[in-house]
Amino acid sequence: MKATAGTPARRAALAAACLALAGCAPPYLVELDKAAGVVSQMTLVGTVGPVSVDPSATNVRFLPARPTASSIGSVSVPGGFLVSDSSNLENLAFVTSGGQQNGSDDFSLAGALSNYPLYQYDVTNTLSNTASVVVSKLDGLSSDTYQQFTVSLPSGSLTQVGSALPFTGLFSTAPTTMGLSDVPTPSSTRDTFAFLVFLAGNFSIGTAQMDGSANVFPLSGSAFSTGNTIPGPTRSLYYFSAASGASVASYYAGGQWACQQWFGTGASTVMTGVTHRIDAVLGTGDYLSTEGGTLRLYDSSGTGKEVLSMDLKGLQFCYEAYVGSDPYVFFALGSTVRHGQMAFSVYAIPSSAMRGLHS
């Protein structure tokens, strides 16, 4: 029988998590208690911390190193990438499971667009025992760049691999990268990124594979033009569905989020049912949104029917990744242990089970 938030089994699980996260101090974590009903439907795959976090920092999020295990019961979290904002800077750090910070770097937030992140963090597959994150700067201009940071597990330091590189030349002479996303692939392979670029009044889409440790897209990207147009500035959130071959653009226009879907060079469909920012297209084909702390799932057929809406209770979406042959959705829950100290619990749920979640 599944434990609920009020049962002895559930309370025992919460107590065990408190012990793992905070070393018995404090004995009660309000964030964990608040989210108990949601996380009881997921698998706790690891804890990180306590971690020192600037009390004035905002938009704190944790992205665990990508799993390499073949089954969910074997997944562990050796550490992950901690991102936070302070003043006009965004900070990236790597922290071990025990809470040790091993290196960090800062990025200027000058020129950030409203409604869109200036920097996008894509945690890539852990190859050769190396955790990796690709940081893309997307400002809606032709100066878009990417840079890779790696960590040798289990206790290496955050290392920038080479300098920041422009996306120029990947598909065309000087395109503006409107949006890009990491398409989930089995854990033993290099990551495939999907791109939406804008050049000389035309939109193109394409893919390229990222080397897990060399800060380059070593395989030439393939791209083709699409006749679809996206309103507003040359910036969008873009996803490619490996399951259906659909391209999905989520963009802010006219005071709200809108969404288009198209296949190949075909005409796009405005998904009028999708009225919130899209954060991922899952292996099931569903669109996932966590805008405003609410988890929403949309069906990709027709105009986009909302099939799930629930309060995340503080959980943050990390990414979708393969465990063995099955895709899982990963979430992180940050808990305040004491002033200036946070701990993070990492949970996973099969992508196929996402529609069954409930508050």
Report pLDDT for 343: 94
Percent of the chain's residues with pLDDT above 70 = 82
pLDDT at 218 over 50: no
**Sole residue written with tokens 């559930």:** 10
Q: Name the token pair of 98.
A: 């025990």
| Helices and strands (H, E) in the chain, number of each type | 3, 24
Q: Name the token pair of 330.
A: 């990963």
Q: What is the pLDDT of residues 278-322, one digit of tens each?
A: 999 999 999 999 999 999 999 998 899 999 999 999 999 999 999
| Mean pLDDT computed over 198-213 | 65
Report pLDDT for 10: 43
Domains observed in the chain: 42-71+79-351 (2.120.10)
Report pLDDT for 19: 44
Q: What is the pLDDT of residues 237-277, one digit of tens each?
A: 999 998 888 889 999 988 899 999 988 777 788 999 999 99
Beta strands 222-226 and 237-240 are: unpaired
Cβ within 8 Å of residue 28, ≥6 positions away: 18
Report pLDDT for 242: 85
pLDDT band at 7 (very low <50, low <70, confident <90, very high): very low
Sign of CA dihedral 208, 147, 69, 283: negative
Least confident segment among 5-14, 62-71, 203-212:
5-14
Instruction: Determine contact, residues 250/237, Cβ cutoff 8 Å.
Output: yes
Q: Report which of residues 216 and 167 the model is more confident about.
A: 167
Spatial CA neighbour of 49 closest among 318, 342, 338: 342
* pTM across the whole model: 0.89
pLDDT band at 17 (very low <50, low <70, confident <90, very high): low
3-state secondary structure of 22: helix
Instruction: Determine contact, residues 51/101, Cβ cutoff 8 Å.
Output: yes
Q: What angle do CA 290, 64, 310 make, to 5 degrees?
A: 20
Percent of the chain's residues with pLDDT above 90 = 52
- Measured CA to CA, the distance from residue 182 to residue 239 in angstroms comes to 8
Q: Name the token pair of 244.
A: 């259906």
Write phi, then psi, for 55 (nearest 5 degrees).
-60, -25
Q: Name the token pair of 243.
A: 């399951």
Q: What are the Cα distances from residue 89, in Å, to 10, 58, 111, 166, 307? A: 40, 11, 11, 21, 37
Spatial CA neighbour of 194 closest among 211, 181, 178: 181
- Measured CA to CA, the distance from residue 42 to residue 64 in angstroms comes to 16
Q: What is the pLDDT of residues 310-331, one digit of tens each?
A: 999 999 999 999 999 999 999 9
Q: Report which of residues 30 and 225 the model is more confident about.
A: 30
Q: What is the pLDDT of residues 35-88, one digit of tens each?
A: 999 999 999 999 999 999 988 899 999 999 999 999 999 999 999 999 999 889
CB atoms within 10 A of CB 356: 10
Q: Where are the beta strands (DSSP E) in 74-137?
A: 79-86, 89-96, 101-108, 119-127, 130-137
Report pLDDT for 200: 62
Spatial CA neighbour of 335 closest among 6, 10, 44, 106: 44
Report pLDDT for 233: 65
Instruction: Determine contact, residues 82/94, Cβ cutoff 8 Å.
Output: yes
pLDDT at 24 over 60: no
Spatial CA neighbour of 115 closest among 145, 91, 140: 140
Q: Tell me the pLDDT of the chain averaged across its residues.
A: 84
Q: What is the pLDDT of residues 109-123, one digit of tens each?
A: 988 888 899 999 999
- Measured CA to CA, the distance from residue 233 to residue 251 in angstroms comes to 9
3-state secondary structure of 355: helix
Please, which residues bridge with residue 317 across strands? 331
